[in-house]
Structure 1
């Protein structure tokens, strides 16, 4: 005889693992992280001095993965409640609540620390750039490079 409750729990655990694994695939947003499409692309370089740097939070990803996985887990959990029509209602409510919770869980788990760097360029202009905090704190008074390619701007040493 097949243990349906055990199968449902394994399916729920598998969905949670998928959310965690896929949530870890978020693209880096730091000054030293480049996407594959940025390779071999010319960038404009300007020089300047850091005026300030403050910590910020970069919101997490909001992909359908968290919502779908949460809905699957919630629907499975809801289907174990009651029987007949009540079970169907519990399954729908569980799926909706699970989808909302899964979306929030994904966003929270993929949230990362960032840094807002304000730079006084050598031409006297000020520029603020928000990027992921990769652990190498830029300090006021430090000389930096500002790299731009028309769509991406980053501050590096």
Structure 2
């Protein structure tokens, strides 16, 4: 029994270590990645036409998925003896991998805004989805920055 508790404790510590070692990327309109630094961005001005609350799907991290698979296999191998342990390891590995993927998507899902902007130059309409860390409202004047493969909305 003590041996099994030690194994489960080790599994929990390994899982926590894997989770804490993952990089968290941001989809905020206020946070720039290192690759976006020192790049020219086109600046346009416009007016918010609509703001819709949406959810941004969480990212999957293959390292965490592999960790969940390994931990599930380890936990499953403790079921039975001989061929039963092998079958338990296989089932545990599959369940652990699927659980890790599902947990990542659920835990990393965050509120976002779909912001529709009518640009001043020619009245072109844009819809940009970004993290809901800055409030926007219909009729608000904004600037739209585009460059380096990204577009973001920021208040004036």
Give the whole-Å Cα distance in 1 for the aligned partners of 2:14 and 2:54. Answer: 31
The unaligned stretches of length 5 or more in structure 1 are: none
CA RMSD of aligned residues (A): 1.5
2:56 touches 2:109 (CA, 8 Å); kept in 1?
A: yes
Q: Are residue 12 (structure 1) and residue 11 (structure 2) matched?
A: yes
> TM-score if structure 2 supplies the norm length?
0.91
- Asked if the contact 2:40/2:147 (under 8 Å) is kept, the reply is yes
> How many Å separate the matches in 2 of 1:19 and 1:60?
17
Q: Return the TM-score normalized by structure 1.
A: 0.90
Matches within 5 A, 1:1-157: 4-22=3-21, 25-123=23-121, 124-134=123-133, 136-157=134-155
Uncovered stretches (5+) of structure 2, i.e. residues with no partner? none
Quote the offset at 1:150 in angstroms: 4.5
Provide the C-alpha distance between the structure 1 equivalents of 2:89 and 2:108, rounded to a whole number of angstroms. Answer: 28
